[in-house]
């Protein structure tokens, strides 16, 4: 039983899909400032769709996964699950999530969620095999889920409040991916993926990533100025978190960057994103 659960979690990339669900939830909370039945519908619907999208991604990348040490033990390349079984699971997840969103939050939320799925599986995933800069348009995948939550709560798709949250997650996703790439560059090359290290040295990339991390901090600090939060603790929390992330990220500017592991920066920028989710939610729900 434990093995089957592990396989299911691997196929659905549960850590990633839970974070997608969290960003959807913060979009809902930012508008509604409460948890209700509509919140449950959009959270479950998005989780199922995100899980279905992850399974499709496993199917799409099964051959390249088999070439990388990090991914060759995934369920499909390792032979634990067949493509047919994975396809059936993906269909069940996608249909279930779509039905919940259609009869819950409605057509607009469902349309945005399906747009995100199409962009991820139909555009970004194939583009990764063609361009090392695929993450730039691909970051739209991180920007859409908060908007789904916002409109599910009754907000407008172009409201300035949700646009700044969406923009934050768009900016965050670029250094998030490049930091992961820096740790796995050789494996990506072996699998035939074009990598950004083809164009920039490790030293140059560390500086580029530092700039993107600072841009993530600045975007996060702009959120309180869009009438999203009311209490000073949010300003202080984001400011302290931003200073902490910038200080830690400054290690990337070291002359000895060739000997630095990028894992610390990957962890830290994800913690800052989580901080943004938490403080907005606390401001809306508790204080």
Read off the pLDDT of residues 209-267 as tens digits, 9 standing for 90 and up: 999 999 999 999 999 999 888 888 889 999 999 999 999 999 888 766 666 677 888 99
The region of weakest confidence among 118-127, 201-210, 249-258 is 249-258
Distance CA 52, CA 76 (A): 15
Measured between alpha carbons, how far is 74 from 58 in angstroms, rounded to an integer?
8
pTM for the model stands at 0.93
Report the distance separating Cα 153 and Cα 107, nearest Å: 13
Computed over every residue of the chain, the mean pLDDT equals: 92
* Cα–Cα separations (whole angstroms), residue 56 to 7, 106, 154: 14, 24, 30
CA 14 to chain centre: 12
- The class level of CATH for 2-285 reads mainly alpha
Give the per-residue pLDDT at 69. 84
Q: What is the pLDDT of residue 122?
A: 96
């Amino acid at each position: 039983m434990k093995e089957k659960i592990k396989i299911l979690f691997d196929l659905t990339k549960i850590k990633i899909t839970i974070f997608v669900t969290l960003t959807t939830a913060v979009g809902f909370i930012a508008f509604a400032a409460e948890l209700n039945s509509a919140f449950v519908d959009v959270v479950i619907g998005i989780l199922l769709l995100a899980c279905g999208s992850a399974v499709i991604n496993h199917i799409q990348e099964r051959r390249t996964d088999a070439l990388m040490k990090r991914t060759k033990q995934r369920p499909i390349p390792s032979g634990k699950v067949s493509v047919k079984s994975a396809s059936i699971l993906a269909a069940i997840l996608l249909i279930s999530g779509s039905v919940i969103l259609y009869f819950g939050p409605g057509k607009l939320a469902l349309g945005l969620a399906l747009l995100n799925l199409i962009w991820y599986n139909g555009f970004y995933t194939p583009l990764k095999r063609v361009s090392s800069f695929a993450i730039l348009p691909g970051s739209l995948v991180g920007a859409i889920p908060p908007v789904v939550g916002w409109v599910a709560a009754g907000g407008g798709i172009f409201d300035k409040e949700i646009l700044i949250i969406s923009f934050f997650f768009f900016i965050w996703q670029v250094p998030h991916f490049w930091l992961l790439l820096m740790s796995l560059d050789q494996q990506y090359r072996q699998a035939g993926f074009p990598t950004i290290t083809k164009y920039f040295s490790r030293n140059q990339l560390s500086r580029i990533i530092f700039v993107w991390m600072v841009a993530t901090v600045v975007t996060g600090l702009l959120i309180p100025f869009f009438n999203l939060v009311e209490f000073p603790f949010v300003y202080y929390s984001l400011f302290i978190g931003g200073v902490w992330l910038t200080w830690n990220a400054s290690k990337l500017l070291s002359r000895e960057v060739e000997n630095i592991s990028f894992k610390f920066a990957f962890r830290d920028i994800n913690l800052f994103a989580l901080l943004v989710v938490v403080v907005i939610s606390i401001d809306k729900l508790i204080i």
